[in-house]
């Protein structure tokens, strides 16, 4: 038998040293279900994410909901590197899932967060990431109400992976879904394309540009709330993350059974992102965004929607970039700046691994 039973009562404090968040590292026992895991949860997660539901400290979190439509979304985050200009895996894991919830028009309510840590990962980095998550959640007005922590042996993970799941409530009158795009609808984006992907890539490639490109990682649900107030008849919302705008438009075209025509000269792209793409050989249409959305709405409402977007800080560079057309092949086409046309196809292989 292991020496885990004790014949006499002893102070529990005797077993445990304070967690060293400066120089300490993740140990296997931090995921073992015992005293060290409890200490990590108490000292780090409960402190950073503190809220009444999390404090229930059951293996599930309980909350009240009104009758109606609820949405649920989940994303695992494996971004590399963990820290990048404009954010880190912590803020990204909050924004990414909140945005997926918000793209139904829903108001996000709660998040769960599950951590897979690699043995040896610096506790200082873990603390920084957890505090970044807490700050992102607080800023977005949502609570992280339940979670899990697992630890894998060194070499069996990559520092930290974070899976978040979000739930939210959809206002009754909305019908926003990727199969609702109709020929004649206008296509809008909320701002510049490719910032997140290029921010990550510039770190990986050790590139230095004149000005550092920042990730656009941000929570979009308040922008969405402004948009649906202005135009409740929005047909489609989607955030162009992995695979970029090109992939998102192709997904919508497939699901709605339509074609699309996009105008290259209408696409908002930072000059630095454009330059980096040319230098690195990438097409900005395929580069991931983490704080941008695509909206599709009836043509008659497009200008109203554009103005509502531009009035919000996260939509100040919004633009109408194209329109939905009839096409039995469901192709996304682009009218280029030179007046030609090309098909904007699905991404075939792998462009930017571990971008989110």
Q: Quick one: which H or E segment has residue 88?
A: strand 87-88
Task: For the CB of residue 161, give the shortest distance to a copy of itself in the complex, in Å.
Answer: 6
345 binds a copy of itself (CB under 8 A): yes
**Positions in 190-249 near a copy of itself (CB under 8 A):** 238-239, 241-244, 246-247
Strands 294-297 and 186-189: antiparallel
Q: In sequence order, what E strands does 197-331 have?
A: 236-238, 259-263, 294-297, 319-325
Q: Is 114 in the site for a copy of itself (CB under 8 A)?
A: yes
Contact 137, 95 (CB under 8 A): no
Spatial CA neighbour of 25 closest among 134, 126, 162, 114: 126
Per CB under 8 A, 328 contacts a copy of itself: no
Footprint on residues 267-326 left by a copy of itself (CB under 8 A):
277-278, 281-283, 286, 288
Residue 182 corresponds to which tokens in the numbers above?
């109709």
The radius of gyration of the chain from alpha carbons, rounded to an integer in Å, stands at 23
**By the rule CB under 8 A, 2 interacts with a copy of itself:** yes
Give yes or no for residue 49 binding a copy of itself (CB under 8 A).
no
Of 170-178, 198-206, 223-231, 299-307: span binding a copy of itself (CB under 8 A): 170-178
Residue in 140, 178, 218, 245 binding a copy of itself, rule: CB under 8 A: 178
15, 207, 279, 303: which one contacts a copy of itself (CB under 8 A)?
15
Could you give the CA distance from residue 311 to residue 308 in angstroms, rounded to a whole number?
5
Work out which of 43, 51, 76, 182 binds a copy of itself, going by CB under 8 A: 76
Q: Are the CB atoms for 298 and 185 separated by under 8 Å?
A: yes
How far is residue 208's CA from residue 350's CA, in Å, rounded to a whole number?
24
CB of 204 to a copy of itself, least distance (A): 12
Answer yes or no whether residue 18 interacts with a copy of itself by CB under 8 A: no
Binding-site residue total for a copy of itself (CB under 8 A)?
A: 112
Least separation in angstroms between CB 122 and a copy of itself: 17
For residue 276, give both structure tokens. Answer: 């980096």
């Amino acid at each position: 038998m292991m020496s885990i039973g004790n014949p006499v009562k002893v102070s529990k404090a005797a077993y445990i040293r304070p967690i060293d968040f400066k120089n300490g590292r993740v140990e296997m026992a931090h995921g073992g279900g015992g005293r060290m895991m409890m200490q990590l949860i108490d000292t780090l997660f409960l402190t950073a994410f503190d809220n009444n539901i999390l404090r229930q400290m059951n293996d599930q979190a309980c909350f009240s909901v009104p009758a109606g439509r609820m949405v649920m979304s989940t994303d695992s985050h494996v971004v590399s590197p963990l820290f990048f200009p404009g954010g880190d895996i912590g803020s990204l894991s909050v924004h990414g899932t909140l945005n997926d919830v918000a793209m139904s028009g829903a108001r996000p309510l709660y998040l769960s967060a599950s951590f897979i840590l690699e043995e040896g990962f610096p506790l200082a980095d873990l603390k920084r990431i957890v505090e970044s998550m807490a700050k992102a959640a607080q800023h977005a007005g949502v609570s992280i109400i339940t979670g899990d922590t697992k630890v894998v042996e060194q070499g069996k993970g990559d520092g930290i992976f974070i899976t978040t799941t979000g739930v939210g409530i959809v206002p009754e009158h909305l019908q926003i879904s990727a199969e609702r795009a109709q020929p004649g609808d206008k296509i809008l984006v909320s701002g510049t394309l490719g910032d997140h992907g290029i921010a990550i890539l510039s770190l990986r490639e050790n590139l230095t540009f004149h000005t550092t490109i920042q990730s656009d990682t941000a929570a979009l649900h308040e922008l969405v709330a402004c948009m649906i107030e202005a135009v409740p008849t929005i047909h489609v919302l989607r955030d162009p993350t992995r695979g970029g705008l090109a992939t998102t438009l192709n997904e919508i075209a497939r699901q709605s059974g339509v074609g699309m025509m996009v105008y290259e000269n209408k696409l908002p792209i930072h000059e630095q992102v454009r330059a980096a793409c040319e230098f690195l050989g990438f097409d900005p249409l395929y580069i991931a965004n983490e704080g941008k959305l695509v909206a599709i709405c009836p043509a008659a409402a497009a200008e109203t929607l554009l103005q509502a977007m531009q009035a919000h800080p996260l939509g100040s560079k919004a633009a109408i970039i194209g329109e939905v057309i009839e096409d039995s092949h469901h192709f996304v086409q682009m009218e280029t700046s030179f007046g030609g046309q090309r098909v904007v196809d699905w991404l075939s292989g792998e462009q930017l691994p571990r971008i989110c």
